[in-house]
Amino acid sequence: MRRYVLTGAPGAGKTSIADELRRRGYQVFAEAATDVITAGQARGVAEPWSEPDFVEAVVRLQRARQAGACGPVQVYDRSPLCTLALARFLGRPVGAVLAAEVERVTAAGIYQRQVFLVRPLGFVTPTAARRISYADALEFARVHERVYAEHGYELVDVPPGPVGRRATAVAAYLGVTSGEGGPDPVYLT
């Protein structure tokens, strides 16, 4: 089983690439942080990322999705190392849950050592879950790069461009034909 990660700056196009890969038949797992934010906002929490248990909630959802996954090739819109980057970017302490999950995924080789670094498009479109300036998004991307490098991962550059071209480049790297990815992912509701 091969598990690949898409990472990069907020608004760089990771989710658009993931959606296109899913449309082509790959098994793709949605970004856990976005789903935790959406669920929190649905409960009336305006800024779920400010909640003390936010990072741990993201880690738990990431682990549940990874543990329940099947299929020979899986693509994840972010990983626990991205959550570590998030904690650092937000100035949050790295709690026991996050530290243990980072240790587990790195020691066990859960994700492929090649991680797709999706480069910024030159702007960030704000959403309910994404409230960050372009300058901050670029700094956040640098934190991701440092975290993955510290843990021995090789970053595979995905340059800016049309979604279809970016998805085709990622798919070519995956080395499998569309439709071999398995069933659709389960989403947090």
- Give the DSSP letter of residue 130: -
Range of the domain at 14: 2-174
Tell me if 184 is assigned to some domain: no
Name the residue with tokens 């994840």: 76
3-state helix, strand, coil in the chain (%, to 5): 50, 15, 40
Q: What is the CATH number of the domain that holds 68?
A: 3.40.50.300
Low-confidence ranges of the chain (pLDDT < 50): 177-189
User: 112: left (phi > 0), else alpha (psi -120 to 50), else beta?
Assistant: beta
Give domain status of residue 179, yes or no: no
> Is the residue at 116 inside a domain?
yes
**Residue 137: per-residue pLDDT:** 87
Sort 11 into a burial class: Cβ within 10 Å, 0-12 / 13-18 / 19+: buried
Number of domains in the chain: 1
Residues facing 156 on adjacent strands: 116
Q: How many CB atoms lie within 10 A of CB 111?
A: 22
Q: Is residue 117 part of a domain?
A: yes
Q: What is the pLDDT of residues 123-165, one digit of tens each?
A: 777 666 667 888 888 998 999 999 999 999 999 999 999 999 9
